[in-house]
Chains A and B, each alone.
Chain A
Amino acid sequence: MNSFEYANPTTVKEATGLLAAQWGEAEILAGGTDLLSLMKNYVATPKRLVSLKDIAELRGITASAAGLRIGAMATLQELHDHKAVHNDYHSLAHAAGSVSSTQIRNMGTVGGDLCQRPRCWYFRNGFGLLGNDAKGQPLVPRGDNRYHAIFGHPGNGVGAYYVHASSLAPAFITFGATVKIAGPKGQREVALASFFKTPKTEGERENVLLPNEIVTEIFIPAASKGMQTATYEVRQKEALDWPLATASVAVRVASGKVTSAQIVLGHVAPVPWPATEASKWLVGQAITETTAAKAGEAAVRGAAPLSGNKYKVQLARVAVKRALLETIAGKEGMSHG
Chain B
Amino acid sequence: MASEKWPEAGKRSLIGKRLTRLDGAMKSSGRAKYTYDVSRKGLLHGKLVFSPHAHAKVVSIDTSAAEKMPGVKAVQLMIEPGKEVQWQGQEILAIAAETEEQARDAARAVKVQYEKLPHFVVDASPEKAGSNGRPLAEQVTGNPDQGFKEAEVTSEGTYGAPVITHCCLESHGQVAEWEGDNLRVWASTQNVSGISGEISDGLKKGGVDVPASNVQILTPVMGGGFGSKFNADTWGVACAQLAKKAGRPVKMMLERDQELMAAGARPSIHARVRVGAKKDGTITAWSSESWGTGGVGPAGNPILPYVFTRIPNRRSRHTRVNTNTGPARAWRAPNHPQMCLITMSALEDLAAQLQMDPLDFFLKNLPFVIEARAESYRQELLKGAEMMEWKKKWHPRGDKTPGHIKRGLGLSIHTWGGGGHPSNCNCTIRPDGSVEVFLGSQDLGTGTRTVIAMVAGETLGLPVTGVKVNIGDSKFPPSGASGGSTTVGGVSASTRRATTNALNELLAKVAPSLGVEPDKLEAKGGTIRVIDDASKSLTWKQACAKLGATPITASGQRAPSGPDGLISSGVGGIQMAEVSVDIETGIVKIEKMVAVQDCGLIINMKTAESQVNGAMIMGVTYALYEEKLMDEVTGQCLNPDLEFYKLAGIGDVGNFAVHFMTGAGYDERGVIGLGEPPVISPGAAISNAVANAIGVRVPTIPITPEKVLAALETTPRPPSAGSEREGGAA
Query: A321: which of B651, B704, B724 is its contact (CB, 8 Å)?
Result: B724
User: Chain B's interface: helix, strand, loop or mixed, by majority?
Assistant: loop
Contact A337 B721 (CB under 8 A): yes
Chain B stretch 394-428: residues in CB contact (< 8 A) with chain A: 402-403
Q: Mark A76-98, 1 if CB is under 8 A from B, else 0.
A: 00000000000000000000000
Expressed in whole angstroms, the Cα–Cα distance for A227 and B631 within the complex equals: 45
Expressed in whole angstroms, the Cα–Cα distance for A244 and B624 within the complex equals: 15
A244: B residues at CB distance < 8 A: 705
Asked if B638 is at the interface (CB within 8 A of a chain A CB), the reply is yes
Asked if B727 is at the interface (CB within 8 A of a chain A CB), the reply is yes
Contact B646 A241 (CB under 8 A): yes
Query: B652: which of A122, A237, A242 is its contact (CB, 8 Å)?
Result: A237
B721: A residues at CB distance < 8 A: 289, 336-337
Asked if A26 is at the interface (CB within 8 A of a chain B CB), the reply is no
Chain B's nearest CB lies how many Å from the CB of A226? Answer: 27
**CB-nearest residue of chain A relative to B105?**
A2
**Which of B646, B706, B709, B721 gathers the greatest number of chain A CB atoms within 10 Å?**
B706
B640: A residues at CB distance < 8 A: 125
Chain A stretch 115-147: residues in CB contact (< 8 A) with chain B: 119, 121-122, 124-125, 127, 133, 139, 142-144, 146-147
Contact B631 A236 (CB under 8 A): no
A234: B residues at CB distance < 8 A: 585, 587, 705
Contact B709 A337 (CB under 8 A): no
Expressed in whole angstroms, the Cα–Cα distance for A133 and B631 within the complex equals: 12
A1: B residues at CB distance < 8 A: 101, 104-105
Expressed in whole angstroms, the Cα–Cα distance for A288 and B721 within the complex equals: 13
B726: A residues at CB distance < 8 A: 290
Asked if B389 is at the interface (CB within 8 A of a chain A CB), the reply is no
Chain B's nearest CB lies how many Å from the CB of A233? Answer: 10
B651: A residues at CB distance < 8 A: 237-239
A335: B residues at CB distance < 8 A: 723
Asked if A6 is at the interface (CB within 8 A of a chain B CB), the reply is no
**CB-nearest residue of chain B relative to A1?**
B101
Expressed in whole angstroms, the Cα–Cα distance for A147 and B648 within the complex equals: 18
Contact size class for A?
35 or more
Known: A1-B104, A237-B625, A337-B403. A314 touches B709 (CB 8 A): yes
Contact B646 A237 (CB under 8 A): yes
**Which of B104, B638, B652 gathers the greatest number of chain A CB atoms within 10 Å?**
B638
Query: B704: which of A125, A236, A240, A290 is its contact (CB, 8 Å)?
Result: A236
Asked if B372 is at the interface (CB within 8 A of a chain A CB), the reply is no
**CB-nearest residue of chain A relative to B730?**
A294
**CB-nearest residue of chain B relative to A245?**
B585
A240: B residues at CB distance < 8 A: 642-643, 649
A292: B residues at CB distance < 8 A: 727
Asked if A3 is at the interface (CB within 8 A of a chain B CB), the reply is yes
A150: B residues at CB distance < 8 A: none
User: Chain A's interface: helix, strand, loop or mixed, by majority?
Assistant: loop
Query: B706: which of A42, A146, A298 is its contact (CB, 8 Å)?
Result: A146
B585: A residues at CB distance < 8 A: 234, 314-315, 318
Expressed in whole angstroms, the Cα–Cα distance for A127 and B636 within the complex equals: 11
A119: B residues at CB distance < 8 A: 643-644
Asked if B382 is at the interface (CB within 8 A of a chain A CB), the reply is no
Chain B's nearest CB lies how many Å from the CB of A38? Answer: 12
Chain A's nearest CB lies how many Å from the CB of B163? Answer: 14
Chain B's nearest CB lies how many Å from the CB of A13? Answer: 32
Asked if A281 is at the interface (CB within 8 A of a chain B CB), the reply is yes
A143: B residues at CB distance < 8 A: 631-634, 638
Chain B's nearest CB lies how many Å from the CB of A209? Answer: 25
Asked if B512 is at the interface (CB within 8 A of a chain A CB), the reply is no
Q: Mark B631-663, 1 if CB is under 8 A from A, else 0.
A: 111101011111110111111100000000000
Q: Mark B695-730, 1 if CB is under 8 A from A, else 0.
A: 000000000111001100000000001011011111
Chain B's nearest CB lies how many Å from the CB of A277? Answer: 10
**Which of A293, A297, A309 gathers the greatest number of chain B CB atoms within 10 Å?**
A293
Contact A133 B705 (CB under 8 A): no
B480: A residues at CB distance < 8 A: none
A336: B residues at CB distance < 8 A: 721, 724
A288: B residues at CB distance < 8 A: 723
**CB-nearest residue of chain B relative to A239?**
B649
**CB-nearest residue of chain B relative to A319?**
B585
Known: A121-B639, A294-B727. A239 touches B104 (CB 8 A): no
B181: A residues at CB distance < 8 A: none
Chain B's nearest CB lies how many Å from the CB of A149? Answer: 15
Q: Mark B465-507, 1 if CB is under 8 A from A, else 0.
A: 0000000000000000000000000000000000000000000
Task: Taking A240-B649, A289-B727, A337-B402 as given, write out 14 further A-B residue pairs in contact, using a Cβ cutoff of 8 Å, ordered by the A residue number.
Answer: A121-B638, A144-B629, A144-B638, A237-B649, A239-B648, A289-B723, A290-B726, A293-B723, A294-B729, A297-B730, A311-B586, A311-B705, A311-B710, A337-B721
A/B interface sample: 20 pairs, CB < 8 A: A3-B101, A121-B639, A122-B638, A124-B641, A125-B638, A133-B633, A139-B633, A143-B631, A143-B633, A235-B587, A237-B625, A239-B647, A290-B723, A293-B724, A294-B730, A297-B727, A311-B709, A314-B586, A337-B402, A337-B721
6 smallest CB-CB distances across A and B, nearest first, come from A239-B649, A238-B651, A293-B727, A294-B730, A311-B706, A290-B727
